[in-house]
Amino acid sequence: MLPLSLLKTAQSHPMLVELKNGETYNGHLVSCDSWMNINLRDVICTSKDGDRFWRMPECYIRGSTIKYLRIPDEVIDMVKEDSQAKSRNRIEMSKNRNGSGNLPQNPNQRVGRGGARNNIGSRNNLGNRQLIQGSKNRK
């Protein structure tokens, strides 16, 4: 589980952010970017010593100042489910890419890197036509 995927899933959920200087911010995550900069709304900021509080409608926190994030367990469960689903899809795609998912319905049909070919113009089909035509001419 990567931190950025966790943050992207946590959008619109409440979270606690503690900064390196000791201040804490409680609010709902609005957005995040690849540098872990985050926007919060309905924020309550607590000072380092815990004796002062500020209420803000929104705030921006630079990612390099974040010490840790506390995210609800339900968000973590959602990320785990998403990562498991992606890994299952990745396994299925690799099976299909290796050819096991591209098996021919007709055992005489060719399958390879190019996929299944039509029987039009294939050797087997032309050979069968020639045999049929040849047997008709012999009668």
**At a CB cut-off of 8 Å and minimum separation 6, what does 44 contact?**
25, 26, 27, 53, 54, 55, 56
Tell me 52's DSSP state.
Answer: -
Q: Is the pTM of this model over 0.85?
A: no
Provide the residue-wise pLDDT of the chain in tens; the chain has 139 residues: 678 888 998 999 999 999 999 999 999 999 999 999 999 999 999 999 999 999 999 999 999 999 999 999 998 888 888 878 877 787 777 777 665 555 556 666 666 666 656 655 555 555 555 555 555 555 5
CA dist 64 and 48 (Å) reads 18
Ordered by where they begin, the domains of the chain are 3-79 (2.30.30.100)
